[in-house]
Structure 1
């Protein structure tokens, strides 16, 4: 597994924050995606989950995360859908292939890489979902793990 440093371009996203089990993530992805399509916004390719805590640290009902889609166009928050701009930033990134439930070791490897190579992690982990579980077998799912970082001197 290769860990790389890269810049993430600024993006406008529609998202919903959630608390609780990860079991409903596929439903939440569908919900946000349908909202974006229903507003006739142009999806720009980033389907993501940002995870603010870990099942290693908190009970399932206390997990906090958001699910979102990047888009081009204009939209305003509506109901539980929020709209925000994610600024351009630097991340350490690695690709996981396989079931979403097996991404943990890649997350830990990126953190280890950051520590060993003088990076300070400055935000939560984001998983960018690069293909669709409805279109590929679980063994071929691709997830990009990203941690926002700054390089320490």
Structure 2
């Protein structure tokens, strides 16, 4: 597994914030992608999820996460789908191959890499879904896992 520190460019995203079980993820992602397509926006990156807490720490009803997609264009959002800019930043990153639900098993390794290289974790984990579960088997799914970081002084 190759772990790197990446420079992430500013992006504009359409997203939905969710509180509840992860089984809502496919529906919410579909909602975000549909909105972007209806607005005739240019998708520039695969869809992502940002996870603010863990099923190891809270009940499924209290899970907090955001599903979104980066785009180019102008859009107002629609009340449920929001628009924001994610600023330039650095992230410790690697690609996990396997079922989506198992990507969390590499989080600790990524965090340790950041610490060993004099970086501090600066926010929640982001998973970017690089291929389509309708096109590949679960074992072939690719997820880029990122934690935003800042260099320790």
TM-score by length of 1: 0.96
- 1:148 matched to which residue of 2? 148
Q: Which residue of 2 aligns with 1:27?
A: 27
Which residue does the alignment assign to 1:138? 138
CA shift digits 1:111-140 (9 cap, x unpaired): 121223221111110001111111111111
Whole-angstrom distance in 1 between the partners of 2:89 and 2:116: 21
Q: Which residue of 2 aligns with 1:95?
A: 95
1:52 matches 2:13: no
Equivalent-residue separation in structure 2 for 1:150 and 1:108 (angstroms): 17
Point out where structure 2 has 5 or more consecutive residues left out of the alignment: none
Per-residue deviation, residues 15-68 of structure 1 (Å, max 9, x unmatched): 000011111111111111011101111111231000111111111111100000
- Cα separation, 1, equivalents of 2:61 and 2:107: 21
Q: Structure 1 unaligned runs (5+)?
A: none
TM superposition outliers: structure 1 runs of 4+ over 3 Å: none
Q: Is the 8 A contact 1:94 1:106 kept in 2?
A: no
Q: How many residues align structurally?
A: 153
Give the aligned CA root-mean-square deviation in angstroms.
1.0
**TM-score, structure 2 normalization:** 0.96
Q: What SS does the aligned partner of 1:18 have?
A: strand
